Amino acid sequence: MVENTSYYALRRCPGTAADAWWVNASRHRDVPPAIAALLSGRARVEVNRDETVEALVWAERVDGFQHGGDPPLRVYPHDPR
Protein backbone atom coordinates (compact mmCIF):
# COMPACT_ATOMS: atom_id res chain seq x y z
CA MET A 1 0.00 0.00 0.00
CA VAL A 2 1.30 3.44 -0.93
CA GLU A 3 0.66 6.23 1.53
CA ASN A 4 0.27 9.70 0.06
CA THR A 5 1.83 12.34 2.26
CA SER A 6 0.43 15.85 2.12
CA TYR A 7 2.97 18.61 2.17
CA TYR A 8 2.52 22.18 3.21
CA ALA A 9 4.55 25.27 2.53
CA LEU A 10 5.43 27.62 5.35
CA ARG A 11 6.29 31.12 4.16
CA ARG A 12 7.91 33.97 5.96
CA CYS A 13 5.79 37.11 5.61
CA PRO A 14 7.22 40.61 5.37
CA GLY A 15 6.09 43.59 7.40
CA THR A 16 7.05 45.58 10.46
CA ALA A 17 4.96 43.55 12.93
CA ALA A 18 6.09 40.28 11.34
CA ASP A 19 9.74 41.38 11.45
CA ALA A 20 9.43 42.05 15.19
CA TRP A 21 8.02 38.55 15.68
CA TRP A 22 10.94 37.00 13.78
CA VAL A 23 13.38 38.86 16.03
CA ASN A 24 11.55 37.48 19.09
CA ALA A 25 11.51 33.98 17.59
CA SER A 26 15.26 34.07 16.91
CA ARG A 27 15.92 34.53 20.63
CA HIS A 28 14.40 31.16 21.53
CA ARG A 29 16.48 28.00 21.82
CA ASP A 30 13.63 25.56 21.21
CA VAL A 31 12.91 26.63 17.63
CA PRO A 32 11.32 23.83 15.55
CA PRO A 33 13.30 22.81 12.44
CA ALA A 34 10.82 24.39 10.00
CA ILE A 35 11.01 27.77 11.75
CA ALA A 36 14.80 27.45 12.04
CA ALA A 37 15.01 27.05 8.26
CA LEU A 38 13.03 30.25 7.80
CA LEU A 39 15.19 32.03 10.39
CA SER A 40 18.28 31.02 8.44
CA GLY A 41 17.06 33.04 5.47
CA ARG A 42 14.75 30.79 3.52
CA ALA A 43 11.52 32.45 2.41
CA ARG A 44 9.66 29.14 2.10
CA VAL A 45 10.00 25.61 3.44
CA GLU A 46 8.01 22.48 2.58
CA VAL A 47 6.99 20.31 5.53
CA ASN A 48 4.61 17.49 6.31
CA ARG A 49 1.45 17.87 8.39
CA ASP A 50 3.05 17.07 11.74
CA GLU A 51 5.91 19.50 11.15
CA THR A 52 3.43 22.18 10.13
CA VAL A 53 1.34 21.74 13.27
CA GLU A 54 4.48 21.72 15.45
CA ALA A 55 5.71 24.96 13.85
CA LEU A 56 2.35 26.72 14.18
CA VAL A 57 1.78 25.72 17.80
CA TRP A 58 5.27 26.92 18.69
CA ALA A 59 4.94 30.13 16.65
CA GLU A 60 1.73 31.13 18.38
CA ARG A 61 3.48 31.00 21.77
CA VAL A 62 6.10 33.58 20.73
CA ASP A 63 5.24 37.18 21.63
CA GLY A 64 3.94 39.21 18.71
CA PHE A 65 2.21 36.48 16.71
CA GLN A 66 -0.90 38.11 15.29
CA HIS A 67 -4.13 36.42 14.38
CA GLY A 68 -6.16 38.16 11.72
CA GLY A 69 -3.71 40.98 10.95
CA ASP A 70 -0.46 40.43 9.14
CA PRO A 71 0.91 37.19 10.56
CA PRO A 72 4.65 36.54 10.38
CA LEU A 73 4.04 33.06 8.99
CA ARG A 74 1.62 31.72 6.39
CA VAL A 75 0.67 28.16 5.56
CA TYR A 76 -0.21 26.95 2.09
CA PRO A 77 -2.58 25.55 1.04
CA HIS A 78 -4.23 25.79 4.51
CA ASP A 79 -3.72 25.35 8.23
CA PRO A 80 -3.97 21.57 8.79
CA ARG A 81 -5.22 21.79 12.36
**pLDDT tens-digit map of 54-70:** 999 999 999 988 766 77
Looking at the domain assignment, is residue 47 inside a domain? yes
User: Which tops the pLDDT comparison, 20 or 2?
Assistant: 20
13 close to 76: Cβ distance less than 8 angstroms: no
Looking at the domain assignment, is residue 9 inside a domain? no
Looking at the domain assignment, is residue 53 inside a domain? yes
Q: Provide CB contacts within 8 A for 34, sequence distance 6+.
A: 10, 45, 47, 51, 52, 54, 55
pLDDT grade for 16, boundaries at 50, 70 and 90:
confident
CA–CA dist 62, 23 (Å, integer):
10
**What integer is the mean pLDDT of 8-37?**
93
pLDDT tens profile 33-52: 999 999 999 999 999 999 99
pLDDT of 35: 97
Looking at the domain assignment, is residue 18 inside a domain? no
Reduced to 3 states (helix: H, G, I; strand: E, B; else coil), residue 4 is coil
CA–CA dist 37, 71 (Å, integer):
18
